[in-house]
Amino acid sequence: MHFADRMTPIKPSATLAVTAKAKQMAADGLDVVGFGAGEPDFDTPAFIVDALRSALDNGKTRYTPTAGVPALRDAIAAMFTELYKVPFERAEVMTTVGGKHALYNMFQVLVNPGDEVIIPAPYWVSYPAQVRLAQGTPVHVQCDASEGFTLDVDVVRAAVTDRTVGLVLNSPCNPTGACLSEETLGALADLAEERDFWIISDDIYSFLRYDADGAAATALRARPHLRHRIFIVHGASKTYAMTGWRIGFAGGPAELISKMGTLQGQATSNPTAFAQYGALAALQSDHAFLGEWMKQYDARRRRLTALLNDIDGVECLLPGGAFYVFPDISKILERRFRGEVIGTDLRFSQLLLEHALVAVVPGEPFGGAGHCRLSYAISMQDIDKGMARMKTFIDGLQR
Ligand SMILES: Cc1ncc(COP(=O)(O)O)c(C=O)c1O
């Protein structure tokens, strides 16, 4: 069968692949501890589900405006205004089928064949794939793992060319959980202004931060006067445990949002009508549930990091946000399992899953070879069980 050339470099998402295999093993009756999932383990709060039910009861089952119902757009604008301390209007925001779709639309609208998008590594796996689907070229710059995955502005500067159209910033970051400082974000926005490219600010984890000043550090908050070149990705998935609802938020100059709406109007039309009403209830709530969730995430984050560092050969930084840790396992890759040198993080995660029933995601597809990603959106009990198994597995390897 022949497929379009644009699909040639596109691979299935590594994160989904591990989760699928772990789920299959669990379905086959095996007691797998899964650190693979990129979604909260909490249920969507009941009041949000109730809002969807009542939308259905009230006949909200038809097409809505492509960019979302006006009340939801206004609620997104209000949330952005509060979060970024910059006034947003309805025309400057839209609803999409998840944050992933917001990014997809934006790359399709902004990237010409051969244009370059700078993506700091480690990165979320969909950025390079989406840039390639827009026939652009992903250009990777490395974050400094030894410094807590910080990004050096001069390293980014050196990667800028005449073809650069955007720089992706994701803080807190998937997969590392690292947060960039306000100073770095501001300096990168200044560079974008100087060299005329977009800042693509993926702030989907901005409410999941463990430092005192919460969501303060974002490119837009650091440089409000540069809002004309900052594109915002956000959504309901991670903040409200609504991953399956597929509701994302996009923000940016009205002209860009309008162009994305034109594309969306020809591709998917509106996100599911009644799901939009759930998202509206979520945005209009007092977010009280989030404080309780953050306490639990925080306790798990500390425990998981400590248990990982307790394993000889594993080094793990305490992340500042999201619900992932990204330990360095490079020393373990030199060891042997039943005579075979492990070699790669991919092989390590296969062996760990098959022989210790622990699912982690290899770091290489995230541009972080020698690492693996573990999500702590699982119970404390499972964290303890999974770490005990991982320690036994690693301690049993031959040197
Ligand atoms: C960094 C990052 N951005 C965006 C998304 C998109 O999330 P969704 O499409 O569920 O809103 C994800 C999901 O894993 C993510 O990790």
Q: 191-203, pLDDT tens digit by residue?
A: 999 999 999 999 9
Best of 106, 127, 173, 174 for a ligand 1 pocket test (most atoms within 8 Å of beta carbon)? 174
Tell me the residue range of the domain where 86 lies.
62-284
Asked if 184 and 85 sit in the same domain, the reply is yes
Q: Which residues contact 168 (CB under 8 A, 6 or more apart)?
A: 117, 118, 119, 120, 123, 127, 200, 202
Give the per-residue pLDDT at 97. 98
Ligand 1 centre distance from Cα of residue 204 (Å): 7
Largest CA-CA distance found in the chain, in angstroms, rounded = 65
pLDDT digits (tens, 9 = 90+) for 115-124: 999 999 999 9
Residue 56, domain member (yes or no): no
Cα(382)–Cα(399) distance, integer angstroms: 28
CA of 86 to the centre of ligand 1 (A): 24
* 53 located within any domain: no
Which of 258, 284, 310 corresponds to the end of one domain? Answer: 284
Q: What is the mean pLDDT of the chain?
A: 95
pLDDT of residue 21: 86
Residue 125 located in a structural domain: yes
Q: Where residue 204 sits, what CATH number does that domain have?
A: 3.40.640.10
Testing ligand 1's pocket by substitution, the residue of 126, 170, 200, 239 carrying the most ligand atoms inside 8 A of its CB is 126
For ligand 1, atom 7, which residue shows the shortest CA distance?
A: 99
pLDDT reported for residue 212: 65
Burial class of residue 365, CB neighbours in 10 A (0-12, 13-18, 19+): buried
For 149, other C-beta atoms within 10 Å of its C-beta total 25
Residue 323 and residue 236 share a domain: no
β-strands 230-235, 198-202: how paired?
parallel
Closest CA to 330 of 367, 358, 371: 371
Of 284, 313, 342, the last residue of a domain is: 284
Structure confidence at residue 15 (pLDDT):
64
Q: By percentage, how much of the chain surpasses pLDDT 70?
A: 98
Dump pLDDT digits (tens) for 260-308: 999 999 999 999 999 999 999 999 999 999 999 999 999 999 999 999 9
Element (H, E) at 323: none
Into how many domains does the chain fold? 2
The whole-number pLDDT of residue 180 equals 94
| Pocket of ligand 1 from Cβ distances under 6 Å | 38, 98-100, 124, 170, 174, 202, 204, 235, 237, 243, 248
Q: Is the pLDDT of residue 12 over 80?
A: no
Task: Give the distance (Å) from ligand 1 centre to CA of residue 312.
Answer: 32
Q: Specify whether 27 is located in the same domain as 86.
A: no
Better-predicted residue by pLDDT, 147 or 49: 49
CATH of the domain at 386: 3.90.1150.10
Interval between CA 311 and ligand 1 midpoint (Å): 30
Whether 252 and 204 map to the same domain: the answer is yes
Examine residue 127 and state whether it is found in any structural domain, yes or no: yes
Question: What tokens does 208 get?
Answer: 């999941």
Distance between CA 174 and CA 99 in Å, rounded?
13
List, for residues 149-168, the tens digit of each pLDDT value.
999 999 999 999 999 999 99
- Give the distance (Å) from ligand 1 centre to CA of residue 172: 12
- Residue 14's pLDDT is 64
In angstroms, what is the span from residue 26 Cα to ligand 1's centroid?
25
Which residues, listed in sequence order, are joined to residue 315 by a DSSP beta bridge? 328
Are 237 and 357 contained in the same domain? no
* Same domain? 278 vs 293: no
The residue whose CA has the least distance to atom 16 of ligand 1 is 174
Which atom of ligand 1 approaches the CA of 100 most closely? 9
pLDDT at 146 over 90: no
Give the pLDDT confidence score for residue 19 in this predicted structure.
74
Q: State the distance from the centre of ligand 1 to the C-alpha of 216, rounded, in angstroms.
A: 20
Instruction: State whether 101 and 127 are in the same domain.
Output: yes
Same domain, 22 and 107: no
| Residue 277: DSSP 8-state | H
pLDDT of residue 11: 80
Is 25 part of any domain?
yes
Q: Which atom of ligand 1 is nearest to the CA of 322?
A: 16
Q: Using DSSP, state whether 341 is helix, strand or coil.
A: strand
Same domain, 275 and 316: no
The residue among 216, 230, 141 whose CA lies nearest residue 183 is 216
CA-124 nearest atom, ligand 1 = 1
The answer to whether position 102 is within a domain reads yes
- The DSSP H or E segment spanning 131 is helix 126-133
- The arithmetic mean of pLDDT across residues 358-380, rounded, is 96
Q: Which residues contact 350 (CB under 8 A, 6 or more apart)?
A: none
Residue 75 placed within a domain: yes
Give the residue from 230, 253, 284 where a domain finishes: 284
Determine the atom of ligand 1 nearest the C-alpha atom of 102.
9
Q: What is the pLDDT of residues 178-228, one digit of tens each?
A: 999 999 999 999 999 999 999 999 999 999 999 865 556 899 999 999 999
pLDDT above 80 for 22: yes
CB neighbour class for 366 (10 Å; exposed up to 12, middle 13-18, buried from 19): buried
Q: Which is the closest atom of ligand 1 to the Cα of 247?
A: 11
Are residues 204 and 345 both part of a single domain? no
For residue 280, report the distance from its CA to the centre of ligand 1, in Å: 19
Please tell me whether residues 10 and 31 are part of one structural domain. Answer: yes
Return the residue whose CA atom lies nearest to atom 14 of ligand 1. 38
- 163 and 237 both lie in a single domain: yes
**CB count in 10 Å sphere of residue 310:** 11
Say if 48 falls within a structural domain.
no
Q: 278 alpha carbon to ligand 1 midpoint, in Å?
A: 18
For the CA of 173, the closest atom of ligand 1 is 1
- How many angstroms does the Cα of residue 39 sit away from the middle of ligand 1? 9
